[in-house]
Chain A
């Protein structure tokens, strides 16, 4: 793999140092760099977008207000992700009622990643079909496996970063990824077999 993630990490650390010195444009830059990823991550477990945007804004304001007492995180991106995760969890439990009335996910206030591929916009028919199937299979995975897969392949976080975000050990991250793929492979087969059986029945 290239060392691009390393470059990004150094850039983030540099910006963090500048913001500690009171440079608010550095805070703005960090926000510009990571806002979209944070928003996408948050959307995985919060449907109320305005509430989510407020959470992200508060997150950055809090960093600014506490800049002199916070130590520079090893990995700013992982720090932002885990802070947002904790923050949403806290906020949701602070106002359980208002949250439940507004959220579609009311029955499940935990972190809950759901994949929603826009397969119907894919021009190639067979690929669109496959993508739809994969989206379905991904959503059958247990919650934690799904989140690990999302953080690794969508957000492109490293094993160590994922461990920090989800507060588990790097080894557990590897295990979860492995389990997810074992699951996916088994299910891919099952889907193919059931389709095959169906066709055989149909043709006979």
Chain B
């Protein structure tokens, strides 16, 4: 048994169990260290110093996603000098196998488990070269809030007269960046490796995974950020240069129910408390009783102000009886896809529904061998 009481700071830094706790948040390691600290309160100072030191060195975790790395490796292999070369593209059968596996699993799980991660199969379907990046712009010219879905499954509620733009391959970029002119509420999916940035005329807001509201109209001098859940870092755009040299300089950290207002002429932040954000962004409630899925899609499109693309003949005959309350749009789409034995992904803000095969609804159970 290791005697951690004799450990110096240097010893802690190289200890595997200690690193597992601090760097990866491993729950077993965490339990161990919490108990150990309770039993050895006189070593707490040393442990905390070591912990902070390790975190300070760890800095940001790697920012390259797996598909990005794959692409870099493929590109490098493609440049090698050689006489004969088998193509190194990702084999199609693998993609198909993964999709089939997902579809079969989903069919098996049925109604109850509605948090089944279909992300894997989605990635496989939507893998495209990130060099084909184009910018997508969404404007809300209606008089009602509009929902914008991002490829990483984050959701944005865009208020009338506001505009949001982002790269079409946002979900694969190392930094998720969107540009906002106006008023929007963000519900960001947590991804520690890829921070999420909202750029606006005056402010830059940076998060990992949280929900918060940004009001920043290009034509106005004032901007504000308020937080519903999680932790958000805000800094003035003009401080960006300073940040590049000394990250962490000149920024403000907001916690839930806190708001910061920035006025450009004074170049100053004012922090205050805010309530009622949760009520403001309450998800809508739907009730369906033997409703054709096509009608369900129409209802969602209308309520959220989104486009859903699907092939009506492929989902003809599916009926839905359900009540959606306290559910996010992504959860609702997940659930519907499970019923119609399909998947969905986001393309330039539109929802694309993919069903595995053209089959009459009665025969849907036999769809064991999808051919695309």
What residues of chain A have their CB less than 8 Å away from a CB belonging to chain B? 1-2, 24-25, 27-28, 31-32, 35-36, 39-40, 47, 53, 57, 60-61, 64-65, 104, 115-123, 126-127, 130-135, 138, 149-150, 152-154, 156, 177, 181, 184, 188
Chain A residues positioned under 8 Å from B372 (CB to CB): none
Q: Does B123 contact A (CB under 8 A)?
A: no
For the complex of A and B, the 4 pairs showing the least CB-CB separation, nearest first, are A130-B52, A134-B56, A135-B56, A116-B247
Give the shortest distance, in Å, between A22 (CB) and chain B (any CB).
8
Binary A-proximity of B54-89 (CB < 8 A = 1, otherwise 0): 111111101010000110111111011110010010
Residue on B nearest A127 in the bound complex, by CB = B52
A132-B248 in contact given A32-B73, A117-B56, A123-B231 (Cβ < 8 Å): yes
Q: B13 at the A/B interface (Cβ < 8 Å)? A: yes
Q: Decide: B57 and A127 in contact? CB cutoff 8 A.
A: no
B interface residue count range (under 10 / 10 to 19 / 20 to 34 / 35 or more): 35 or more
| CB contact under 8 A between A120 and B208, given known A35-B73, A36-B64, A149-B57 | no
> A57 and B72: CB pair below 8 A?
yes
B248 contacts A181, C-beta separation under 8 Å? no
Is A120 in contact with B251, judged by CB distance below 8 angstroms?
yes
| B residues in contact with A119, CB < 8 Å | 55-56, 248
| B53 located at the interface, meaning its Cβ lies under 8 Å from any Cβ of chain A in the complex | yes
Q: Which of B56, B231, B248 has the most CB of A within 10 A?
A: B56
Q: Does B14 touch A at the CB level, under 8 Å?
A: yes
- Is the Cβ of B72 less than 8 Å from the Cβ of A53? yes
Give CA–CA (A154, B253) in the complex, Å: 26
B73: A residues at CB distance < 8 A? 28, 31-32, 35
B214 smallest CB distance to A (angstroms): 18
Whether B177 is near chain A, meaning CB under 8 Å from some CB there, is no
Tell whether, in the assembled complex, residue B75 and residue A138 are in contact, meaning their CB atoms are under 8 Å apart: no
Looking at chain B's contact residues, the main secondary structure is helix
Q: Is B233 a contact of A154 with CB atoms below 8 Å?
A: no
Are B72 and A36 in contact, CB atoms less than 8 angstroms apart? no
Residue B42, interface by CB 8 Å: no
Does B82 lie within 8 Å of A131, measured CB to CB? no
Provide the bound-state CA to CA distance between A119 and B58, in Å.
10
Q: Say whether B141 faces chain A, with CB atoms less than 8 Å apart.
A: no
B48 located at the interface, meaning its Cβ lies under 8 Å from any Cβ of chain A in the complex: yes
* Cα of A184 to Cα of B8 in the assembled complex, Å: 13
B55 touches A122 (CB 8 A): yes
| Contact string against A for B residues 202-227, beta-carbon threshold 8 Å, 1 for contact and 0 otherwise | 00000010000000000000000000
Q: A135-B248, A153-B14 are in contact. List 14 more A-B contacts (CB 8 A).
A: A24-B77, A24-B82, A27-B77, A35-B73, A36-B62, A104-B244, A115-B56, A115-B59, A118-B247, A132-B248, A134-B53, A138-B53, A149-B57, A181-B9
The chain B residue sitting closest to A130, CB to CB, is B52
Complex CA–CA separation, A119 to B60 (angstroms): 9
CA distance A120 to B14 in the complex (A): 24
Which one of A25, A39, A57, A156 lies within 8 Å of B79 (CB-CB)? A57
Q: Are A39 and B55 in contact (CB under 8 A)?
A: no
| Residues of A contacting B70 in the complex (Cβ-Cβ under 8 angstroms) | 32
Q: In the complex, what distance in Å separates the CA atom of A123 from the CA atom of B209?
A: 12
The distance in angstroms between the C-alpha atoms of A85 and B62, with both chains bound, is 19
State which of B16, B48, B58, B75 has its C-beta within 8 Å of the C-beta of A57. Answer: B75
Contact A117 B13 (CB under 8 A): no
A118, B54: Cα distance in complex, Å = 12
| Beta-carbon contact of A130 and B49 below 8 Å | yes
CB <8 Å contact, A61 and B76: yes
Query: Can you report 9 residue pairs joining A to B where beta carbons are below 8 Å apart?
Result: A31-B76, A36-B64, A115-B59, A117-B59, A117-B248, A127-B55, A131-B56, A134-B52, A154-B58
Over the window 12-23 of chain B, the binary record of Cβ atoms lying under 8 Å from chain A Cβ atoms (1 yes, 0 no) is 011010000000
Residues in A whose Cβ lies below 8 Å from that of B208: 121
- Given the interface pairs A36-B62, A153-B13, the reply to whether A138 lies near B56 with Cβ below 8 Å is yes
B55:A131 contact, CB within 8 angstroms = yes
Q: Could you tell me if A61 and B79 are in contact, using CB atoms closer than 8 angstroms? A: yes
Nearest Cβ on chain A to B159's Cβ, whole angstroms:
28
Query: Which of these, A24, A36, A121, A153, contacts B54 with CB under 8 Å?
Result: A153
Chain B residues with Cβ below 8 Å from A121 are: 208, 231, 233
Q: Are A120 and B253 in contact (CB under 8 A)?
A: yes
The answer to whether A118 touches B57 (Cβ under 8 A) is: no
